[in-house]
Chains A and B, each alone.
Chain A
Amino acid sequence: MLGGGPLEPPGGVSPRPPGRSRAVLDGEVRVALVDDHPVVLDGVAAWLSAEDRLRVVATGDSVSAVLEACAQCPDVLLLDLNLHGDLVVGEVERLAGRGVRVVVYSQHAEPELVLAVMDAGASSFVAKHEGRGELVQAVLAAAADRPHVSPTTAGALAADQRPQRPRLSRRELEALLLWFQSMSRESVARRMGISPHTVKEYIDRARVKYAEVGRPAPTKSDMLARAIEDELIEADDVRGYRSWAARGR
């Protein structure tokens, strides 16, 4: 399908900084945290440290401070969207454009904002009230370039009526909607009469289709490539991916 060769990053975008493969090799994910509230930083760091596979390597109240502080680039940057009173969607776009995997978490969970963050190239969006489990899952998925969809994100994707939205199937939309409502994949599965695994597939596939929306970014093409490797989608399903690949040659 892909000729087995290494996947090219999209043309015109600087390559991902070193550190990507490390997460895959030694199984440990290095996370940097950016939040302007020390108590939140400490709390989230504690949450993440409780998970064996995650190691918090830097924390701070600004992106530049955190990226300077860590000697090697982190695998995942966990970013509070509201820093010192500003919504830093532009920062997300800049980081994603440099290949940094960003998981955004925020107390602002308006659908428009969630979609803007996805368009900017964030790997995932987690609302602050969604708790530790979602956050850990989001970071682990981001490190592996795999999609992760929080219930808040699912709601935003399901109700997306923008012209540039990707075409989602009826089942994908239904899975997103129920996931938004229920907070338990098992109950969604029961409701739809399918397995939890299939529910996750529907939701993840919908998310991967969003990698084509907005400006291309290495984080997006990595997620697409991984989804194709995982056979979540087929290369033919993804128009954007093919055009990026063609550009690389």
Chain B
Amino acid sequence: MTAGRAAPAGAAPEDGGSEPSGRFTRGIALSAATITCVWHATIDTVNLAATWSEHRSQAGQLAAWLAVAALAAVGTWILVRSPAGEERPGASRADTARICAVLALLAGVLAGLSAPHGDAIGVGGWAWSGVGWLGVLFLLFHPLRELIAFLAAHLALTAGVLLADGVLDGAMAPLLAVNVITTSGVFLSLRWVAGVLARGEERARAAVRDRAAVLARARASDELHAGRGERYAEVREGAGAVLAGLAGGRLDAAAPEVRQLAALEAARLRRLFAESDDAPDPLLHELRACADVATVRGVLVDIAVVGEPPELPPGVRRALVEAPMRALATARAGARVTVAALPGELAVAVVADCDPAALAQVSRAVLSEEGSGSADGIGDGGRPGGGGSLRSGRRNGADAAGADGVVSVTIQAGEAQCWVEARWSRPGV
């Protein structure tokens, strides 16, 4: 029954399975990077070397080759060294990738202009396909239109170079077209596969998130339900028993102890209602609820607060409020409620003109919480006149001990005044 409350409030819900790791998109990114680098290191380099003496500008060729090599390295780095948690490799460096793609196009123009005359897509025009691979590398996970625009620009620039060389004639144009179809086919296929994998992973991620959200909602509603069940049980045991006793004639509404019992159960009801309210300071809110009940009975209640009470789990709040609540319920004319929040400690105290006999019963019941022995039956049996409802509250005490700290209750009862203090100490203090 207390299992729901034992879980730390606000703990992250267990996720409904492991997050997809982005394995497939990472794989295709690595493939694109490998192909680009290997292509440049082997085919581009061999072709450049084979035509080295024929180039219009060897310096231009060397610069273009180095530029393509550098860009391939940058593209690989962007794709491979993605920050953890990024859904698609290189997503956070999208602008860098776009700038690099433009630089790749410029390197292509440089290579075309310094290649042997009219050989921009031949053996001497090694950069034609090398630059195309760079486009794939940089724009693999970008929208498809970016890669198409890149390839179109690459084609237009290359055609421009051929035109400038005066070789874009009836023989060259079909050759260029065949070249475009084969290379672009490869580039776009790879881009298509990457897109399919990325979308699949995104769907899987969304499914996992949805499942976690459903689980969290289910858990929250379980806890809510358990809390309601618990409160209902308390009400049934307490107020329910008093009402049943009154209705059945077993309890005499005129008897002072029955009235006190009724006052106590009224306070408990109010506190239970207040417990699930969304208040900025739940402890003070619950104490005020108890004080309200006493005020309605004509008791003058003064509440003084010093320090900032820390946030406490409901079980600890219950244990803290229980004994002061009983003192308030038995107060006759006046009560002073104090809340003092000190470092690692919170003390709730009530000084009131309690009925010593009633408080003695309260004392026995509440003090039993401090002991570790069995408190079964304390406060339950043997008390004349509707005794059955003054519960030991041991469960609250047990909840409060342990990981959430310890609540200790001290009671001093004189002839005129009683003084009840519940003090919570932070675990380890």
A interface residues, Cβ below 8 angstroms from B? 109, 111, 129, 151-152, 155-156, 158-159, 161, 173, 177, 180-184, 187, 190-191
Contacts and interface: CB of A to CB of B under 8 A. Distances in A.
Contacts of B304: 109, 151-152, 155, 180
A210 to B, nearest CB: 15
Closest 5 CB pairs of A and B: A159-B307, A159-B306, A181-B349, A155-B306, A111-B306
Nearest to B420: A181
Contacts of B414: 187
Given A109-B304, A155-B340, 8 more contacts: A111-B307, A158-B306, A173-B342, A177-B347, A181-B340, A181-B421, A182-B419, A191-B419
Contacts of A182: 349, 351, 419
B412 interface: yes
B412 A177 contact: no
B331 to A, nearest CB: 14
Nearest to B348: A181
B342 A159 contact: yes
B426 interface: no
A161 B351 contact: no
Interface residues of B, number: 19
B340 A191 contact: no
Contacts of B295: none
Contacts of B417: 184, 187
A129 B302 contact: yes
A155 B342 contact: no
A191 B410 contact: yes
B343 A155 contact: no
Q: Please classify the interface of chain A as helix (H, G, I), strand (E, B), loop, or mixed, using the class held by over half of its residues.
A: helix
B336 interface: yes
Contact of A180 (B302, B338, B410): B338
B341 interface: yes
A173 B306 CA distance: 13
A183 B334 CA distance: 13
Contacts of A151: 304
Contacts of B306: 111, 155-156, 158-159, 180
Contacts of B340: 155, 158-159, 177, 180-181
Nearest to A152: B304
Contacts of B419: 181-182, 187, 191
Contact of B412 (A173, A180, A183, A190): A190
18 contacts: A111-B307, A151-B304, A158-B342, A159-B342, A161-B307, A161-B343, A180-B306, A181-B336, A181-B338, A181-B340, A181-B419, A183-B336, A183-B351, A184-B351, A184-B417, A187-B419, A190-B412, A191-B410
Contacts of A184: 351, 417
A181 to B, nearest CB: 4
A151 to B, nearest CB: 8
Nearest to A156: B306
A159 B341 contact: yes
A234 to B, nearest CB: 27
Contacts of A181: 336, 338, 340, 347, 349, 351, 419, 421
Interface in B285-330: 302, 304, 306-307
